[in-house]
Amino acid sequence: MNLRTMCSTGHVPLWRVVCFFLIFLVPGAGLCITLDDAIRNGLGESYVVKEQEEFVKRSRFSYISSIDPFLPQAQIGSSYIRTISPMTPISTYTGNLRDTSDSRDAFTFTGSISWRVFDGGERWAKRKGAFSVWEREKERFKSVREDVIFNIQSAFYVALGAKSIVAKRQEALKATEKIYNLTRGRYEEGVAKKSELLQAEVRLLNTRIDLQRARKEYEKSLESVRSLIIVPVPDPFDVEGSLSVPSFTADYSSLNERALTTKPEIITQQKEIDRLMTVYDEKKSAWYPRIDTTLQQTRQDSRFFPDGRTDAFMVSFSFPLFDGVGRYYNMQGAMSDVNAARQRLAETRRATSLDIARAVKDYELSVADVKMYGELVREATSNFNQLYGEYIEGKGDILNLLQSEKDLASANENLVSSLAKAQVSLAYLEKAAYLRGERQ
């Protein structure tokens, strides 16, 4: 199965369907999951991704609600008053200022439509700010998604490496058993010394211990994968894929230039600056007057359904001539927030460039390590075969043979570890330079 291939049935991945039938219908059957399966399920079930999705929804709703101040406001109100003090005229809206019924009851009904004509840009600033928050949260969602993908990739490749190390230590165990059987046969024939047999036994035991540790490390790495994909995965559980040498060619200049314009962390900070600028505009609007218009109808009388009526259109103008020094210093504080955010943006750019530079160096080193360990495996294999042949012919030394087998096992493990590290380094480079953004 290709590492990048995934089949699905509707909204349910095919591997889940197959898993169900295998687990319940085939005794002892296990589940193998590919990297694409892990990423798909991890993104679909990740708690932090779902949390950020809710933040995006909340900011979207806030942006939609920010349209309200631009719309007219319609209100109705009514009141009942029971006069306790000496009698006074009930209504100023009737023809007779002295109510003929001498009632102590007053009923009032008011309906109005109002609309703010001018507010110094406060409404527009709040709406732009709400939009900037929405855009910022969407960029944060991309950043969270990248973190989740990298964590899954890292855990998956570590598990693949641990799985391959188990296989390599099984090969080492077979080689050690072959040496032990050969040495025991030579000892029984009286050709080999007792010390040679004991040396072979010690190496055999150490190899079994190493294999046991490798299996436990693999089980631990599988638990990390299981935890990140969140979807309950029954035992036995395994990862499927192959470790190969990455072929990506990293160029720092192009990666850095692209990342500085597309990476979600940088765009998030740019959106934060936009939001803080709208806060500054909002504070600045306090220096401008407010102009409001109102169309109102009022009814007031001593009856429950009052007849006294007046219709009015009002235009109001308000401007605070003096209300302290708050307006000035609120603007200054808002601008300080903007300047601080600009410094954070510069720091984010610097950290991003450094992160990419380190990631490129780590990736290049890991690829070089793969080539070097590959050569080391070839040399160690040749050395082991030569010493094994000499030992069979009675010309070699058991200590040299066991050391060559140990060197070969170590070289194989280092090669596998370097392959896994190279894949993790590439995954981190993709995250640092936001290379996956092109494919989303």
pLDDT tens for each residue of 155-189: 999 999 999 999 999 999 999 999 999 999 989 98
pLDDT tops 60 at residue 1: no
Residue 164: per-residue pLDDT: 95
Distance between CA atoms of 166 and 213, rounded to whole angstroms? 9
pLDDT grade, residue 6 (50/70/90)? very low
Mean pLDDT of the chain: 87
Provide mean pLDDT across the span 248-263: 94
pLDDT grade, residue 2 (50/70/90)? very low
Residue 102: per-residue pLDDT: 57
- pTM recorded for the entire structure: 0.83
Percent over 90 (pLDDT), the chain: 72
Residue 272: per-residue pLDDT: 97
Provide mean pLDDT across the span 358-369: 96
pLDDT grade, residue 64 (50/70/90)? very high
Residue 440: per-residue pLDDT: 52
For 203, how many CA atoms within 13 A lie in the half-sphere containing its CB?
28
Pairing assessment for the beta strands 290-301 and 105-118 based on DSSP bridges: antiparallel
Each as own residue / partner, the long-range contacts of residues 310-318 (CB below 8 Å, 24 or more positions apart, any chain) are 310/93, 315/291, 316/290, 316/291, 316/292, 317/289, 317/290, 317/291, 318/289, 318/290, 318/292
- CA end-to-end span of the chain, whole Å? 23
| Run of H or E including 77 | strand 73-82
Residue 169: per-residue pLDDT: 96
More confident residue, 92 or 210: 210
pLDDT tops 90 at residue 306: no
CB 30 within 8 A of CB 238: yes
pLDDT grade, residue 437 (50/70/90)? low
pLDDT tops 90 at residue 288: yes
pLDDT tops 50 at residue 22: no
Walk me through the domains of the chain, giving residue ranges and CATH numbers: 8-439 (1.20.1600.10)
pLDDT tops 70 at residue 269: yes
pLDDT tops 80 at residue 210: yes
Residue 88: per-residue pLDDT: 53
pLDDT grade, residue 301 (50/70/90)? confident
Q: 129-152: b or e for each residue (b if 16 or more CB lie within 10 Å)?
A: bbbbbbbbbbbbbbbbbbebbbbb
Tokens 């527009």 -> residue: 124
Percent over 70 (pLDDT), the chain: 88
Residue 158: per-residue pLDDT: 96
pLDDT grade, residue 95 (50/70/90)? very low
Instruction: Name the token pair of 257.
Output: 């230039």
Over residues 131-150, the pLDDT tens digits come to 999 999 999 999 999 999 99
Provide mean pLDDT across the span 64-82: 92
pLDDT tops 50 at residue 10: no
More confident residue, 211 or 85: 211
Least confident window among 95-104, 184-193, 321-330, 394-403: 95-104
Distance between CA atoms of 165 and 170, rounded to whole angstroms? 8
